[in-house]
Amino acid sequence: MCGIVGYIGDKNAVKAVIHGLHKLEYRGYDSVGIGVIEKNKVKIYKDKGRVKTLDNIVPKNLNTSLAIGHTRWATHGKPSKLNAHPQSDCKNEIAIVHNGIIENFGELKQILKKEGHNFKSETDSEVLAHLIEKFYGETKDLAKAVKITLDKINGTYGIVVISSKEPDKMIVARSSSPIIIGVGKGENFVASDATAVIKYTKKIIYIDDGEMAIVTKDNIDIFNKDNIRIDKKIESLNWSAKEVEKNGYPTFMLKEIYEQPKSFTNTLAGHIDLENGTSHLGGMQNLFPDNEIHNIKRIVIIGCGTSWHAGLMGEYYFENMTGLPTEVEYASEFRYRNPAIDSETFVIGISQSGETADTLAALREAKGKGAKVFGIVNVVGSTISREVDEGLYIHVGPEIGVASTKAFLSQVLALFLVSLYIGRKKRLSIEDGIKFGKQLQKIPSIIDEVLQSTQAQIKKIADKYCKYTNFLYLGRGFNFPVALEGALKLKEISYVHAEGYPAGEMKHGPIALIDKDFPTFFIAPNDNFFQKSISNIQEIKARNGKLILLTDDNAKVDEGLVDDIIRIPTIDEEFYPFIETIPVQLFAYYIAIKKNRDVDKPRNLAKSVTVE
Ligand code: F6R
């Protein structure tokens, strides 16, 4: 939440920072601002609105060697010009951009006000600027003033600080909000994540919690929480700048939906061992050498939102293949309970961004209780990927659309691979393992086929249904998490109310909602539960409910029973989620487009939820 960027060097700093803000806009987009030092003065240009607002407020000829920028997702104080960042001190000599929450800002603000500081905004972040001003007065050293300030606050932060008194540097620090430094020649960058800087450099330093850095044009000094200078590894990013562009698609979301045959292939690459009917997973091998896998008594999967839905699918896979009791937990609930976790629990955390605050905290909690913690993460070098014991990157490339699509499919695949790995060591036969491996290899071309065969039809169906304001999504077994995911996609990008339910639960409440104005999107291929699903469909039709059925080519359906039917290829039931997800994503997408929604940046949302 909130994107922050900084640049110092020989290029036009304003241009580099605005470019970075565009790339980070998915983190928040209700207000925007940049701060520069020009002629030894801090100048700030900011307003409510998206990054493009800067085109109207930043002077065209503004060209400085140092700039910081911020794109906001409001926490304290509504979106407004005054609440936008950068925030500054009384004398306008210090400017800061902040991502996170300062929990004790209220009491600090009172003290600072009594001391004569003049506050301009309702934000928690502004206290940082005034505290730094206060301690700069005492130390005459920007880095020291920032360090003392950070020692006084409780909360989370990624910050970049500049001052007209020391115009040759940025001070950078983090605690629970991500910060990277992009290393250049005669220039350096700071950002919430690497997408902001990849156009300029692929050399990245990941800043860890408690660390602070002094970044000049030619130098980067990093200090640990005890203020001791440390050396950190410069990592090389393997994403290309092209991956963060739309490449001819109208939206990132559509591009990412269409990337799924490739992203699925990338996740699978190198992990199938057909000879032994299992998966190659270096992380699992390291975590459970020899026969230690037999110590696992229970599996707990943790995530939020779409990642939690992927986790639910994992529950089916783990129970089927390994026989181990498996639970799926919302990170935000798990972390505040006293969860029963011990060294015999295998904990899997799922996160596309690798930065979700609740997931991170839940995994830390599990680790603290002695569990072995495994991460399924997309963003390389993200906090979760660095904190887990071992993990598996899904390697789907940058996911920019706020609604998760390609990451979901690959998270489910990653869970399947982990489950296959444990399953083969427990009760799954080599024949079944080989069969699964072979089938997984065929999935990318089937996804491609589904994209081609259903897109035009789904667009038409979306046109027909876009006037409805409520939807019910139903599915049984493997299809239930897909129903939940379909409902979430529709809600978040079209703002249409939708509920996902296990189809068998319909009669325990939701059926009361069904009438001619409350359509159902039913996901029911011809699997073990098909006849039960058909009975549910009868119940819906008996109450005049409109019905869209997503089923497979071989399913025998009395087409008079449904209003619209979308067919996908017939495959083994474990694999349906990989292909059912496509029509479900496209349906939400086209409803949202029909409603003129900004699908890549839906209101109130942000891609990386780094607040708790
Ligand atoms: C929904 C969506 C969110 C995320 C959730 C977790 O489309 O994108 O529900 O899935 O915020 O994010 P990660 O996976 O980054 O931890």
Show the domain range for 115. Answer: 3-244
Q: How is residue 594 written in tokens?
A: 């029909």
Instruction: Specify the residue with its C-alpha closest to ligand 1, atom 9.
Output: 305
Residue 61 placed within a domain: yes
Residue 442 placed within a domain: no
Q: Are 531 and 557 in contact (CB under 8 A)?
A: no
Distance CA(44)–CA(28), nearest Å, equals 19
List, in order, residues 6 or more apart from 612 with CB less than 8 Å away: 101, 156, 332, 357, 358, 361
Residue 438 placed within a domain: no
Give the CB-side neighbour count of residue 302, counting CA atoms within 13 A: 33
Residue 435 placed within a domain: no
Instruction: Specify the residue with its C-alpha closest to ligand 1, atom 13.
Output: 351
Same domain, 20 and 81: yes
Distance CA(212)–CA(609), nearest Å, equals 22
Residue 227 placed within a domain: yes
Is 383 touching ligand 1 by the criterion CB < 6 Å?
A: no
Q: How is residue 427 written in tokens?
A: 């009760």
Beta strands in 290-354 (DSSP E): 298-303, 326-330, 345-351
Residue 607 annotated in active site: yes
Shortest CA distance to 146 belongs to which of 122, 118, 123, 165? 165
DSSP 86: P
Q: Are 234 and 205 in contact (CB under 8 A)?
A: yes
| Residue count of the chain | 612
Spans in the chain with pLDDT lower than 70 = 607, 610-611
Residue 2 annotated in active site: yes
Instruction: Give the helix ranges, DSSP H, for 117-258.
Output: 126-139, 142-152, 252-258
Same domain, 103 and 230: yes
Q: In what order do the strands lie in the sheet with 94-99?
A: 87-88, 94-99, 157-163, 170-175, 212-215, 220-223, 229-230
Rounded to the nearest 5°, which phi and psi values hold at 539?
-60, -40
Q: What is the CA(423)–ligand 1 centre distance, in A?
A: 28
Q: Which of 211, 244, 277 marks a domain boundary?
A: 244
**pLDDT (0 to 100) of residue 611:** 67
List, in order, residues 6 or more apart from 535 with CB less than 8 Å away: none
Residue 434 placed within a domain: no
**pLDDT (0 to 100) of residue 336:** 86
Distance CA(428)–CA(437), nearest Å, equals 13
pTM recorded for the entire structure? 0.85
- Is beta strand 203-206 parallel, antiparallel or unpaired with respect to 94-99? unpaired
Q: Name the domain count of the chain.
A: 3
Q: Are 448 and 343 in contact (CB under 8 A)?
A: no
Same domain, 263 and 366: yes
Distance CA(258)–CA(408), nearest Å, equals 13
Is 359 touching ligand 1 by the criterion CB < 6 Å?
A: yes
Same domain, 480 and 590: yes
Residue 471 placed within a domain: yes
Same domain, 461 and 411: no
Same domain, 266 and 222: no
- Is beta strand 547-552 parallel, antiparallel or unpaired with respect to 520-523? parallel
Instruction: Give the helix ranges, DSSP H, for 126-281.
Output: 126-139, 142-152, 252-258, 260-268
| Residues paired with 237 in a beta bridge | none
Same domain, 465 and 418: no
Is 411 touching ligand 1 by the criterion CB < 6 Å?
A: no
Rounded to the nearest 5°, which phi and psi values hold at 435?
-60, -45
Closest ligand 1 atom to the C-alpha of 356? 16
Choice among 2, 255, 372, 489 that is catalytic: 2
Instruction: Specify the residue with its C-alpha closest to ligand 1, atom 16.
Output: 351
Q: How is residue 507 written in tokens?
A: 């009669």
Residue 360 placed within a domain: yes
DSSP 43: E
